[in-house]
Structure 1
Amino acid sequence: MEAIWFMVFSTFETLAIYSLIMTLLRFKTTEYIWQALLVMILANLQSYIMRNELSLDFLAPLITVMIFVFLFSAIIKIPVIWSAICTIIGYMFYALIQTAYLTTVFGSINAIQTDPAKGYILQVLSGATGLLISWLMYRFGIGFKYDLEKLRIKFEHILLIALIIVVLILIAILFYLNRLWLHLLFFGITFGIFLYYAINTEERESYDHRRTVRADSGEDQTSGS
């Protein structure tokens, strides 16, 4: 019975993360939902095995992030670098939501570790909040508007790839240390860094597009004269 409850609440939780990432990419949550649910169930199954059978619970979030990257790059066909960026932003945003509830409502990680019911309540609160935020974001058109196909891996992304690898390693270390204040600090800083990079890239692409349009317009006027 414990395994069933774990799968139900974890799937609700990963659905919220998936929804946040899809909204960031300006996709509707229901797009690719059946493929996503299959991937989520597999991700949660591996998470249960790693947590309860292998005692490697600190590695479970790392593998979940990597599975999400695979989902967006291989199935939804988002360039892999942006699959990783948006997955990390969405995951860190959700982690911030959950850490906020953990701090304000439950007080400590030990409180939910000793009482599974509190852990399920935390997942429901966090998941419902994540789904609500993603719905509001989609409704008001909040997300990245640039053409992702133009943003395939370039030279400048070598450092970004290295940063993503470091972040994935740090996620595993963070959950191994199991310190609430470290969670809040790490999730907040990482979310800020990747969000800043994504917004800055969008602004640059928008600026380049306007320059190209102006240049083409000038050429057309010259040809016409």
Structure 2
Amino acid sequence: MQEAFGFMFFSTLEAFSWFLLSMYIFRYKPFKYAGSALIVIFLMNLDSFILRNELSLANYVPLINILIFVFYYAVVVKIPLIGSLIVTLAGFAGFGLIQAALTFILFGSIEAAQSTVSNGYALQTATAIVVFIVGVVPYKLGYGISVPFEKMKFKLEEIITSILMVLFLCIISFVLYVNNLMLLVLLFAVTLGYLLYFSVMKDRSFE
């Protein structure tokens, strides 16, 4: 129980800082979407915890999380799909570079950082703090990248995005079904279902 709580808390802290950095880089207002982002991050990390502990799929967790963030930006923040991928990967790259630098500054090596649970939690906390500072300070000073992502939007993008989400759910559900992890199938369905529901409700609010 303690391990699960620690994983969820520090992973949520880490993922939320990734979200903030991605948004600040491109001058979006992240706290406008903080509530929905935290719900998606919580569900995403719950999925990740089970994947890491029940299956040998830890190497695929970053890819799965990237896809979930791409879908989040596309259906909630309403960034076109190509732009959502750019925003997600830019934040992920910046986050990764900062964490890699802190790993060697604080612990000297990856092995040392992973040697104890407390080291891991310390690294996650330090990364979240530094990532937030690196994101918010330039933003407050007026710096950032303003990209006209709307020009990258293609025809029927909303439908294509929905199809990709369903396809993603079908593929991962098949893998999990083979491994008899129906609870995890349900969690992924809830995660993607929430995104689609939020997207529909947001569209209606502007009618």
Residue 63 of structure 2 is matched in structure 1 by: 62
| Cα distance in 2, alignment partners of residues 133 and 58 from structure 1 | 27
- Aligned residue runs from structure 1 range 132-143, under 5 A: 132-143=133-144
CA distance in 1, matches of 2:88, 2:52: 22
- Paired residue secondary structure (1:114): coil
- Output the TM-score relative to the length of structure 1: 0.65
What is the aligned-residue RMSD (CA, Å)? 1.4
8 A contact 1:28–1:138 mirrored in 2? no
Q: CA deviation at 1:55?
A: 2.6
Q: 1:90: which partner in 2?
A: 91
Mapping 1:76-115, distance limit 5 Å: 76-115=77-116
In the alignment, structure 2 segments of 5+ residues that lack a partner are 156-207
2:14 matched to 1:13? yes
Deviation, 1:153, is 4.4
Structure-2 residue corresponding to 1:217 = none
Query: Residue 47 of structure 1 aligns with which residue?
Result: 48
- Read off the aligned partner of 1:70 and give its amino acid letter: F
Q: Name the counterpart of 1:163.
A: none
Q: Which residue of 2 aligns with 1:34?
A: 35
Residue type of the partner of 1:85? I
Matched, 1:73 2:74: yes
Question: Which amino acid in the other structure matches residue 73 of structure 1?
Answer: A
| Alpha-carbon distance between aligned partners in 2 of 1:151 and 1:141, rounded to the nearest angstrom | 24
Counting matched residue pairs gives 154
58-67 or 116-125, which deviates more: 58-67
The alpha-carbon distance between structure 1 residues 23 and 48, as it changes in their structure 2 partners (threshold 3 A), is: same
One-letter identity of the residue aligned with 2:111: N
Q: Does 1:125 align with 2:126?
A: yes
TM-score (norm 2): 0.71
Q: List runs of 5+ in structure 1 lacking aligned partners.
A: 155-225
Alignment partners' CA distance in 2, 1:113 and 1:54? 20
CA distance in 1 between counterparts of 2:138 and 2:131 reads 10
Query: How has the CA–CA distance of structure 1 residues 146 and 101 changed in structure 2, closer, same or farther, with 3 Å as cutoff?
Result: closer
Q: SS at 2:32's partner residue? A: coil
Query: Is this contact kept in 1: 2:26–2:147, CA < 8 A?
Result: no
Q: How does 1:192-207 map to 2 (within 5 A)?
A: none
Give runs of ≥4 in structure 1 deviating > 6 Å: none
Q: CA deviation at 1:17?
A: 0.4
Quote the residue 2:148 is aligned against: 147
Tell me the amino acid that sits aligned with residue 89 of structure 1.
Answer: A
Q: Deviations over 1:18-44 (max 9, x none)?
A: 001111231122111111001100111
Give, in whole Å, the separation in 1 of the partners of 2:131 and 2:114: 22
Q: Deviations over 1:50-78 (max 9, x none)?
A: 11221321111111111110110011110
User: In the alignment, which residue of structure 2 is the partner of 1:185?
Assistant: none
How far apart are the structure 2 equivalents of 1:113 and 1:133? Answer: 24
Alpha-carbon separation, structure 1, partners of 2:144 and 2:153: 19
User: Contact 1:25 / 1:144 at 8 angstroms: preserved in 2?
Assistant: yes
CA distance in 1, matches of 2:146, 2:113: 39
Q: Which has the larger radius of gyration?
A: 1
Partner of residue 182, structure 1: none
